[in-house]
A and B are shown apart, each in its own frame.
Chain A
Amino acid sequence: MNNAILIVEDELITANGIADLLTDEGFPIAGMAVDAQAALSFFDTGKEYPGIAICDINIQGDVDGITLAKQLKEHNCEVVFLTAYSDNTTLYKAFGTDPVMYIVKPFTDKQLLTAVHMAFHRLMKKQDKGETKTELLLTKREKEIAALVMRGFTSKQIAAQLFISLETVKTHRKSMLQKNNIHNFSQLIHLLYQ
């Protein structure tokens, strides 16, 4: 399953910020690219392809993020646009590539996490092809945490909401994966959405 996330962003500080946030929330990062060529090279290596791309529109090189998105879609990669452009022309052009979501910078953690959850859900729905659903084994506390995760809260926000420590939230999240024999958090998100 191609569940790693590719970050296409020419501002490396922003790219690293995104990577940090997503890693913290248990999502695997395939890598970062500053232009279309670097982004597409992830599909040439023969390794596991990225399944989701968080894509800026104004990137380095001659090819913009919208054109790149069309090419990424050909590799069955779901696209989330993350850009500071929010004018109608750019929006309509971007919508033509059928992205999962269009987020305007600066983003909030919740916006990005919700978009990534939805992207995984869409990706895995395609890969699932209606296979059997897994019943999740969760405790009451884990269910509470799972519900907040689905609403796009970060682990830190969940900890604040439930008046527990960040470490406790992380332990619960690990436990959820182990008990249900799920290899990564994106799969859990998909099952939660189901």
Chain B
Amino acid sequence: MSLLKKAELSIAGSSDTFLLEHRVFNLSCFIIIIFCLQGMIINYAIGLNIVTVWLSFLGLMVSITIFYLSRYKYWFTPVTILTYTFATMVVLGAMHFYNGGSYGPIIYLFIMLLNIFLLISQRTYQLIIYGLLSGTVLLLLLMEHYYPRLVVPYDSVSERLIDHTTAILYSMFFTMLVIRTFKNSYDKDRILIISQKDELQEAYAASMKKNQYIESLIKEIHHRVNNNLQVISSMLLLQSNRVNDEKIRDVLEESRGRIAAIALVHQKLYMHNELAKVNISEYLHSLCETIATTSAYEARHVRTEVTLADPLLNIDLAILMGLMVNELVSNSFKHAFIDCPSPMINISLSSDSNGIMTLRVSDNGRGMPDSDAKQNPASFGLRLLDILVKQLNGRLDIIQDNGTHILIQLQRKNE
């Protein structure tokens, strides 16, 4: 690290501890201290009015105090800048009259300090600072106009030139230093942002790629699940064609129906890009259509109505619900509609404000022969239904009234 940088770091403070504006303020105070010091010496040496020497001394004391408080006591608030602004107004305002008035360099020192204070102050205080300093300059010029005798002129042209030269060089150096500090910080931030942007873009691309890979894996799993379910279904079909017992064939066919109910959930997941949830309304509709047609009925014989606020159910719940509906609808088609002129099955799924879901499956068939079926489920279908309801901690009610009405109530858990 160069000596100049070391000096700058020691004066302004480290960027780890101080904000950019705070560092610029520290640096400004220090440069003003030097300026006041050289002002004292040069003013005295070139024989300017002695008041300018004392004013330089006052400026020096104020600057040292504020530098100390800011650099070592970390006092950097809007009040700090306003205090320094007032001190500037007083010291430079008085100096104006002893430094040749508008012939001297004080006005452009005001402009330079205004720029620097505006750079480091908060947005809300910028207008106040601008008002104070520009008001002071205006006041000084008006006073000079109306009270020209207040101005102490330069003794000679060379005195004026020396004063201007030192003030101009000082202003240029000061402005350059502050702008350089800001520019360095801006460049650093920009490089950092660009590198962070690149990193973010890379990370985003990597996560997208990973996401796509995971999605393709999940889709491949669904694909394999469906393929395997097809193999199981085909095995049952092959076996079914090779048994003579009608009852066994029926059992195998029923099992194929259950497999189809599970497979349909995977199809719905796979087709809709929603990899963990299924739209229960669409699913029940498709399922019932499939059951109706495989039971030698038509889709118009089943009506489904889902009134859930959120019809997306997770895959586990959807499969269990699908299996329950499969049993009930298949059972109705198989047993309920003998000699029924207009067979109809109504399925509704609703939810109350407590999150209790009610699945209702009603048919207008001849009713169950054994009204006590729930307590003593003779058929495998009813037993399976009983197991599924228990798994969901649900409640099953069977009502016989102009057909069979099955009510299943269960709590929808947070998914």
Asked if A21 is at the interface (CB within 8 A of a chain B CB), the reply is: yes
Q: A11-B230, A106-B259, A158-B296 are in contact. Are A24 and B267 (CB under 8 A)?
A: no
Within B213-248, the residues touching A (CB, 8 Å) are: 219, 222-224, 226-227, 229-231, 233-235, 237-238, 241
Nearest-CB residue, chain A, relative to B253 = A156
Asked if A193 is at the interface (CB within 8 A of a chain B CB), the reply is: no
Question: How near does chain A come to B415, taking the closest CB pair, in angstroms?
Answer: 24
Q: Are A110 and B294 in contact (CB under 8 A)?
A: yes
Q: A24-B241, A157-B296 are in contact. Are A87 and B234 (CB under 8 A)?
A: no
Nearest-CB residue, chain A, relative to B294 = A108
Contacts of A108 in B (CB 8 A): 260, 290, 293-294
Q: Which of B260, B295, B296 has the most CB of A within 10 A?
A: B296
Contacts of A18 in B (CB 8 A): 234
Nearest-CB residue, chain A, relative to B216 = A87
Contacts of A161 in B (CB 8 A): 296
Asked if A27 is at the interface (CB within 8 A of a chain B CB), the reply is: no
Nearest-CB residue, chain B, relative to A152 = B293
Count of B interface residues, CB-CB < 8 Å: 26
Asked if A75 is at the interface (CB within 8 A of a chain B CB), the reply is: no
Q: Are A16 and B226 in contact (CB under 8 A)?
A: no
Within B255-273, the residues touching A (CB, 8 Å) are: 259-260, 263, 267, 270-271
Q: A11-B231, A16-B234, A108-B260 are in contact. Are A86 and B270 (CB under 8 A)?
A: yes
Contacts of A105 in B (CB 8 A): 226-227, 229-230, 263
Instruction: Give A31-47 as 1s and 0s: 1 = Cβ < 8 Å from B's Cβ atoms.
Output: 00000000000000000
Q: A11-B231, A86-B270, A109-B294 are in contact. Are A17 and B238 (CB under 8 A)?
A: yes
Contacts of B267 in A (CB 8 A): 86, 104
Contacts of A109 in B (CB 8 A): 294
Contacts of B235 in A (CB 8 A): 13, 17
List 23 A–B pairs whose Cβ atoms lie within 8 Å, in order of A's numbering: A11-B231, A16-B238, A17-B237, A20-B238, A24-B241, A58-B227, A84-B223, A104-B267, A104-B271, A105-B226, A105-B229, A105-B263, A106-B229, A106-B233, A106-B260, A106-B263, A108-B260, A108-B294, A109-B294, A148-B296, A152-B293, A157-B296, A160-B296
Once the chains are docked, how many angstroms separate the CA of A104 from the CA of B229?
12
Once the chains are docked, how many angstroms separate the CA of A17 from the CA of B230?
9
Contacts of A58 in B (CB 8 A): 223, 227
Q: A87-B270, A105-B263, A106-B226 are in contact. Are A20 and B294 (CB under 8 A)?
A: no
Question: How near does chain B come to A50, taking the closest CB pair, in angstroms?
Answer: 20
Nearest-CB residue, chain B, relative to A109 = B294
Nearest-CB residue, chain B, relative to A15 = B234
Q: Are B241 and A84 in contact (CB under 8 A)?
A: no
Contacts of A157 in B (CB 8 A): 294-296
Within B168-224, the residues touching A (CB, 8 Å) are: 219, 222-224
Asked if A95 is at the interface (CB within 8 A of a chain B CB), the reply is: no
Once the chains are docked, how many angstroms separate the CA of A105 from the CA of B262?
12
Known A153-B296, A160-B295, A161-B296; 5 more pairs at CB < 8 Å = A87-B219, A105-B226, A106-B233, A157-B295, A160-B296
Q: Are A20 and B241 in contact (CB under 8 A)?
A: yes
Q: Are A84 and B230 in contact (CB under 8 A)?
A: yes
Q: Are A13 and B234 in contact (CB under 8 A)?
A: yes
Once the chains are docked, how many angstroms separate the CA of A11 from the CA of B229?
12
Nearest-CB residue, chain B, relative to A105 = B230
Once the chains are docked, how many angstroms separate the CA of A21 from the CA of B267?
23
Contacts of A13 in B (CB 8 A): 231, 234-235, 238
Nearest-CB residue, chain B, relative to A110 = B293
